[in-house]
Structure 1
Amino acid sequence: MKKKILLAVLGAVSVVSLAACSGNSNTEIATMKGGKVTVSEFYDKAKTDQNSQQMVFNMILSEVFMNKYGEKVTDKMVDEQLKIAFGDNVDEQLKAANMTRKEVEQTIKENLALQEGLKAHVKLTDEDLKTAWDSFHPEVETQMIAVTSEDDAKAIQKDASKKDADFGKIAAEKSILPSKEDKGKVKFDSTTAATEVPEEVKQAAWGLKDGEVSDVIPVNSAYGSSFYVVKMVKTQAKGNDMDKYKDKVKEIATDAKLADQAFTQKAIGEELIDANVKIKDEAFSNILSSFTDAAQPEKKSTDDKKDDKKTEDTKSESTDESK
């Protein structure tokens, strides 16, 4: 699956670990004239912080999914994600980011275990597959040029559209894409990540015939604006036989499920219930409720009715007392 696993921020110290490992909750963190700060005081204050609540939830999630799905994650899968995240110079990049390889590999493994666990809950219907098929486009071969100036892009598009234009040479001279080293050649299909080929570029490319050059395609992202010019080298019609591309179609349908918040919330809730997770500290009593409620909607409905009845009873008692 063509996914970039997001790396969790490393280096944060767990408030739970700090309290648990101290051995004595009265251990002093700092002292000053007329006072001191103890581990217990720190923990009591820090555990109600939103970041601490999220940290404990992440720890629970990692523990649950690693216990059940960790064995499905191979070293090869971890290495692939390392390369995606940090490129070929992994160790140099980690050193610059002040992170150890062991820490990052563990984080990647936990994220992959979560992905494996979520995929285990995917049950594709005929409707899911039809929707995926409708959005699918098979692989095409193109040449691309990207620049940061719209005026430059317009000039490039004009030159590239000439009958005797050498698109590959222009790409090598003008493009900011890595593919400039290969005359701008880029192959992609509808499952290619938007970080590799922006959706705007894909949609524009689908409408091109072999040898045709696109208009300037503006792309806005978190990194700024860029402007693409695409030449279609070899397009491909998908036809009507979905079975020919069944693996790709299933991948699209599965990705759609994993991107559905309602689905992932329910799946995580089911795993938390199956793992029999019990919250022992009242400060964290609600960190799982939105997930477990999604997994047990009938229970939530019953609990809501009970809460409504309690509210009505309280109002009734208050009315009686006022009389």
Structure 2
Amino acid sequence: MKKKKLALAIVGLASMVTLAACSGGKDLVTMKGGKITVDEFFDEIKTSQEVQTQLQYAIIFKVADQNFGDKVTKEQIQAKYDEQAEQFGDTFKDQLKAANLTEATYKETIKKGLSFEEMKKSHIKIEDADLKETWKTYHPAVDAQIFATDDEKVAKDALAAIKKGDDFGKLAKEKSSDATAAKDGKVTFDSTDATVPPEVKEAAYKLKDGTNSEIIEVASSNGMEEIKVYYIVKMVKNQEKGNDWKPFKKELTDITMEAKLADQTIQQEVISKELKKANIKIQDDSLKSVLAGYIEEETKDSKKDETKDSKKDDSKKEETKESTK
């Protein structure tokens, strides 16, 4: 959700900047005894921290789109668009309209986001050592059934019924509060799955096919207070990890790549390198600090420092030459 809002903000800001650049002193609002020009409006809002943050993102995404947009396919864009449409359901078109976007302009926004991912990927190199590190905590996908409830008595009664031989799937469908209840509690997950609590995954991996766990107590939150959820997991088909990581190289590569893409330090370094390469020059003095977190705006003082450092280096080189004669 946060990424979508950010993307929409970028589109809006880009339009605003274009308007300000092209309209000059054109009147934006007229009234009795006065007016507001586009320039006046732009001068008023450009000092806002929110606007400057949005401008920062607009620059970054523009650089990414220009240099890596050709690596993004129409199929990728459509898939991401369909994913968002499915998430919002019947309200999706209204959401676009409210943001003053059409299908075409929103797809352009999606393309910029995917270009940004490609930009980061271009700087990431995955070695075997990375895969071996990921392997330490990796467990391949397993098929299981899950029963969950926030009522401890319901959980205890369900466990007793399961031990007596009652059908796990039927109990899950009738009594479980988990999202998998409609599917008899059936679920497939590996160690990267964020929908299954770590405690449940750890208990599941220890089970043999056809066996179930005891009650697993998991602390959770409903956003207002901490609650306890009681799980029972049944293993349908476990998959042994073994000792050789190579059969799972693709899965490990995908997991490692996702982790690196989400790494803020890597992202900072990538953006910094790409912005320097793009030779970004901000023309408005009041906006020169917009990219301060990534590149340093060249000043007279910095030029003097560079000159001094250069002279020092030259002097050292001369001293070295003299000492070697």
Fold conserved between structures, TM > 0.5:
yes
* Amino-acid identity (%): 36
Alpha-carbon displacement from aligned partner over 1:1-44 (angstroms, at most 9, x marks no partner)? xxx993234367324133124x23251425355x4432222111
Pick from 92, 95, 107 the counterpart of residue 97 of structure 1: 95
4+ aligned runs moved over 6 Å, structure 1: none
- Counterpart contact for 2:212–2:232, Cα < 8 Å: no
Query: Is 1:279 the counterpart of 2:282 in the alignment?
Result: yes
**CA deviation digits over 1:133-164, x for unaligned, max 9?**
111111111112344x3436534653454230
Aligned twin of 2:131: 129
Gaps of 5+ in 1: 294-298, 310-323
The CA deviation at 1:277 is 2.0
CA displacement at 1:82 relative to structure 2: 3.1
Question: Within 1, Cα distance between the matches of 2:184 and 2:70?
Answer: 42
Q: Which has the larger radius of gyration?
A: 2
Q: How does 1:32-181 map to 2 (within 5 A)?
A: 35-87=34-86, 90=89, 92-99=90-97, 100-147=102-149, 149-151=150-152, 154-155=155-156, 157-159=158-160, 161-181=162-182
1:150-187 CA distance string (max 9 Å, x none): 43653465345423021111122233444333211111
With over 3 angstroms needed to count, the CA separation of the structure-2 counterparts of 1:202 and 1:114, relative to structure 1, is: farther
CA contact (8 A) 1:269 1:291 kept: yes
RMSD across aligned C-alpha pairs, in angstroms? 3.3
Residue 201 of structure 2 is aligned to residue 202 of structure 1: yes
Instruction: Give unmatched runs, 5+ long, in structure 2.
Output: 309-325
1:233 to 227, 232, 236: 236
Q: 1:5 to 1:37 in 2, by over 3 A?
A: closer
- Give the 3 Å change call, closer, same or farther, for CA 42–95 of structure 1 in structure 2: same
Cα distance change, pair 219–82 in 1 and its aligned pair in 2 (3 A)? farther
CA distance in 2: counterparts of 1:146 and 1:102, whole angstroms: 43
Question: Equivalent residue for 1:13?
Answer: 12
Distance 1:200 1:107 in 2: 38
For the 8 Å contact 1:26–1:39, the answer to whether it is kept is yes
Counterpart of 1:114 in structure 2: which amino acid? F
1:27 aligns with 2:30: no
The amino acid of 1:264's aligned partner reads Q
Q: Contact 1:27–1:39 at 8 Å: present in 2 too? A: yes
CA distance in 2, matches of 1:173, 1:250: 39
SS in 2 for 1:162: helix
**Aligned 8 A contact 1:169 1:183 in 2:** yes
Give the C-alpha shift of residue 269 in structure 1.
Answer: 1.2
2:30 and 2:148 mapped to 1: Cα distance?
55
- Secondary structure in 2 aligned to 1:118? helix
Q: How many residues were matched structurally?
A: 292
Q: Distance in 2 between matches of 1:57 and 1:190?
A: 36
SS class of match (1:187): strand
Q: Which amino acid aligns with 1:236?
A: Q
TM-score by length of 2: 0.77
CA 1:28 to 1:182, structure 2 compared with 1: closer, same or farther past 3 Å? closer
Distance 1:171 1:71 in 2: 48
